[in-house]
Amino acid sequence: MTRALITGNAAAAWGARLARADYVPAFPITPQTEIIETLAGWMDAGEFDCRLTLLESEHSMLTAAGAAAASGVRVFTATSSQGLLYAMEMIYAAPGLRAPFVLVNVSRGIQTPVTLEPDHNDVLAARDSGFLQLHCATCQEVLDSTLIAYRLGEDHRVRLPAIVNMDGFYLSFTREPVEIPEPAQASRFLPAFDPETTRFRAGSPVSQAVVVLGGSPYSYFRYEQHLAALRALEVYEEVAAEFAQQFGRHYAALETYRSDDAEFVFCMIGSFATKARDAVDRLRESGQRVGLVRPRLLRPFPAGHLRRAMAGKKGVAVIDQNISLGKGGVLHAELASALYGQRDAPPVLASFIGGLGGRDIGAEEFYEMIAVTRAAHEQGQTPEPRLLYTADELREMRKLQAIAHAERTERKP
List of residues contacting another protein (CB under 8 A): 22-23, 25, 49, 51, 53, 55-57, 59-61, 63-73, 89-90, 93, 200-203, 205-213, 217
Please choose, from the candidates 276, 243, 298, the residue with its C-alpha nearest in 3D space to the C-alpha of residue 363. 276
Please, which residue, 4 or 73, has the CB nearer to another protein?
Answer: 73
Q: Are 274 and 245 in contact (CB under 8 A)?
A: no
Please, which residue, 207 or 409, has the CB nearer to another protein?
Answer: 207
Please, which residue, 88 or 338, has the CB nearer to another protein?
Answer: 88
- How far, in Å, CA of 262 to CA of 50, rounded? 48
Neighbouring C-alpha atoms within 13 Å toward the C-beta of 11: 32
- How far, in Å, CA of 334 to CA of 349, rounded? 11
Tell how strand 102-107 and strand 76-79 pair up. parallel
Please, which residue, 203 or 413, has the CB nearer to another protein?
Answer: 203
Least separation in angstroms between residue 16's CB and another protein is 15
**Helix or strand run (H / E) with residue 23:** strand 23-26
Least separation in angstroms between residue 93's CB and another protein is 6
Please, which residue, 27 or 189, has the CB nearer to another protein?
Answer: 27
The residue type at 219: S
Please, which residue, 223 or 250, has the CB nearer to another protein?
Answer: 223
Please, which residue, 22 or 263, has the CB nearer to another protein?
Answer: 22
Least separation in angstroms between residue 59's CB and another protein is 6
Q: In terms of DSSP H, where are the helices of 215-362?
A: 215-247, 273-285, 303-310, 330-339
Least separation in angstroms between residue 90's CB and another protein is 6
* DSSP assignment string, 70-137: HTT--BEEEE-HHHHHHTHHHHHHGGGGT---EEEEEE---SSS--SS--SHHHHTTTTSS-EEEE-S
Distances (CA, A) of 229 to 66, 69, 107, 142, 353: 17, 18, 22, 21, 28
Least separation in angstroms between residue 47's CB and another protein is 17
Give the three-state DSSP class for 162. strand
Please choose, from the candidates 291, 293, 290, the residue with its C-alpha nearest in 3D space to the C-alpha of residue 268. 293
Please, which residue, 65 or 123, has the CB nearer to another protein?
Answer: 65
Length of the chain in residues, anyone?
413
Q: Are 291 and 271 in contact (CB under 8 A)?
A: no
Instruction: Work out whether the CA dihedral 173, 178, 184, 188 comes out positive or negative.
Output: negative
Least separation in angstroms between residue 355's CB and another protein is 33
Least separation in angstroms between residue 66's CB and another protein is 7
Least separation in angstroms between residue 163's CB and another protein is 18
* Plot region of 324 (φ>0 → left; ψ -120 to 50 → alpha; else → beta): beta
Please, which residue, 102 or 233, has the CB nearer to another protein?
Answer: 102
Please, which residue, 127 or 199, has the CB nearer to another protein?
Answer: 199
Least separation in angstroms between residue 88's CB and another protein is 11
Least separation in angstroms between residue 211's CB and another protein is 5
CA angle 277, 322, 90 (to 5 degrees): 120
